[in-house]
Amino acid sequence: MEELLRKTGTPAPSMIGIDEISIRKGHTYRIVVSDLERKRPIWFGGADRSTESMDTFYEWLGPQKSRKIRLAVMDMWKPFSISLKKEGHAPHAGILFDKFHVMKHLGEALDKVRKSEYYRLSGKDRAFIKGQKYTLLSNAENLTSEGRASLKKLLVANKRLNTAYLLKESFDRLWTYRSETWMRKFFEHWKESLKWQRLEPFEKFAAMIERNWDGLAEYCRLQAKPSLGFVEGLNNKIRVIQRRAYGIRDEKYFRLKILTSMLRC
């Protein structure tokens, strides 16, 4: 694996994906950086997910190659964007917030509504909600016929959850727009739908999107669209590597497995 990486050489990516992975319990993180054009991981490291750890990636890549980066896809974790914008790294690169992390935040808002409804209700009304977390959070097309029937029953029984679920499903349309103006109009309309609904977790989510709007609108400004699912797909692949090894203890070996997982021998 080391020889394969040596032959491949140090890349000069123009579009990168940044994500953190948990390597063991207790909030022990490492950062994974991917080349989104060549669709492969290129760097694994850091001591945690801090700005200082992210800085080590740009030090490894070097200032000349770092300047060639024109886009970084990441979640809304501030230390990643702070490091990117430092002088000598890639201060002129655009930042695009990863769709899957944004939708994860929205899923968490929906689950908070589910929990609040569970504790608010009692008896038969509560029974409809119990054990339905993953039914609500899954895409409808991924549910079994039994799951779809449970979801339908739940949404008919609880108006607030029905409203929250429809809001969550409709938000996915945000990434279908090619014009920032229309993208913004859709978001304003979606935000307007929250009025009088008493869905505080959704209001907090909308405020978070408002604060980070530039990182979503960047998608409309791009001529060459990156694969928004690649970063999350790689994360899933890494989790499979971890499961197959029942928790790799040799971190150097684990790093090599990740970096060579999408290289041809």
Q: Taking the domains of the chain in order of start, what are their residue ranges?
A: 2-98+229-259, 100-221
Greater confidence (187 vs 120) lies with 187
Smallest CA-to-CA distance from 167 within 115, 109, 218 is with 109
Q: Which residue has the tokens 């930042």?
A: 95
- Asked whether 149 and 178 are in contact (CB, 8 A), the reply is no
pLDDT, tens digit, 9 for 90 and up, residues 55-104: 999 999 999 999 999 999 999 999 999 999 999 999 999 999 988 899 99
- pLDDT of amino acid 53: 96
Average pLDDT over residues 115-141: 80
Q: Which CATH number fits domain 2-98+229-259: 3.40.50.12240, 3.30.1300.10, 2.40.10.120, 3.30.420.10?
A: 3.30.420.10
**Res 232: pLDDT:** 82
Report how far apart, in Å, the C-alpha atoms of 206 and of each of 102, 122, 201 are: 11, 30, 9
DSSP 8-class letter at 228: T
If phi over 0 gives left and psi between -120 and 50 gives alpha, with beta otherwise, what is residue 95? beta
> Nearest CA to 174 among 200, 201, 210?
210
Six-digit token string for 90: 């890639």
Segment 174-180 shows an average pLDDT of: 91
pLDDT tens digits, one per residue of 4-46: 999 988 889 999 999 998 887 767 899 999 999 989 999 999 9
Q: Are strands 71-74 and 40-45 parallel, antiparallel or unpaired?
A: unpaired
Q: What is the DSSP string of 63-115?
A: HHHHTT--EEEE-S-HHHHHHHTSTTS-TT-EEEE-HHHHHHHHHHHHHHHHH
Query: C-alpha distances in angstroms, 132 versus 105, 115, 123, 135, 155?
Result: 18, 10, 16, 5, 11
